[in-house]
């Protein structure tokens, strides 16, 4: 009977070691899995929001200093992904216009611009006009200077 008691102690210490080893693997898996989930769900880009006001600068009645301005702001939202070299611009419908909401995607890697008409569901592809559209890195620098 003494042998049986001694064998139980040896077996229980082995089970304890296996349990601790299993728990350490589970803990390591939770840490690595949490880091991967965190990296997956973190935003990879910065979203800039801004308003632009358009008016005729040659017309003195539209001066910002005198009287009530004769223009309404147009709000746009730009999602700039420097790593992918892509700029996504959401253009909502202005309250004073009959135009459709749109999403514009400028892909500098492929040299293409996609214009998605959200109301009609049409997508138009065209070559990227680099003389008008700034690359994402330059656009981020511009937004940084304006802020």
35 with 51, same domain: the answer is: no
90 with 118, same domain: the answer is: yes
Q: Between vectors from CA 76 to CA 91 and to CA 128, what angle results, nearest 5°?
A: 65
81 with 116, same domain: the answer is: yes
Q: How many CA atoms lie within 13 A of 143 on its CB side?
A: 18
In the chain, pLDDT over 70 holds for what percent of residues? 62
116 with 91, same domain: the answer is: yes
Q: What is the DSSP string of 112-143?
A: EEEEEETTTTEEEEEE--TTTSPPHHHHHHHH
127 with 140, same domain: the answer is: yes
Q: DSSP secondary-structure letter at 65? A: S
10 with 50, same domain: the answer is: no
21 with 92, same domain: the answer is: no
pLDDT band at 115 (very low <50, low <70, confident <90, very high): confident
124 with 68, same domain: the answer is: yes
In the chain, pLDDT over 90 holds for what percent of residues? 12
Q: What is the DSSP string of 23-54?
A: HHHHHHHHHHHHHHHHHHHS-SSEEEEEEEE-
CA 96 – CA 8 distance, rounded (Å) = 84
Are 118 and 100 in contact by the 8 Å Cβ rule? The answer is yes
Residue 93: count of CB within 10 angstroms of its CB: 14
Count of domains observed in the chain = 2
Predicted model pTM: 0.47
Which range of residues forms the domain containing residue 18? 1-42
The whole-number average pLDDT for the span 64-82 is 61
The whole-number average pLDDT for the span 47-75 is 55
CA 99 – CA 11 distance, rounded (Å) = 77
54 with 19, same domain: the answer is: no
30 with 97, same domain: the answer is: no
29 with 78, same domain: the answer is: no
96 with 111, same domain: the answer is: yes
């Amino acid at each position: 009977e003494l042998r049986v008691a001694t064998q139980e102690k040896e077996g229980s210490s082995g089970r304890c070691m296996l349990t601790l080893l299993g728990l350490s693997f589970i803990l390591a898996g939770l840490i690595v899995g949490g880091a991967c989930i965190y990296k997956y769900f973190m935003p990879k880009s910065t979203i800039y929001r801004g308003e632009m006001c358009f008016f005729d600068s040659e017309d003195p009645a539209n001066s910002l200093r005198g009287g009530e301005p004769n223009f309404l702001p147009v709000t746009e939202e730009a999602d700039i992904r420097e790593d992918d070299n892509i700029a996504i611009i959401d253009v909502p419908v202005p309250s004073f216009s009959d135009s459709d909401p749109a999403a514009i995607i400028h892909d500098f890697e492929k040299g293409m611009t996609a214009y998605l008409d959200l109301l009609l569901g049409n997508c138009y592809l065209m070559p990227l006009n680099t003389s008008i559209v700034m690359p994402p890195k330059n656009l981020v620098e511009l937004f940084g200077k304006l802020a």
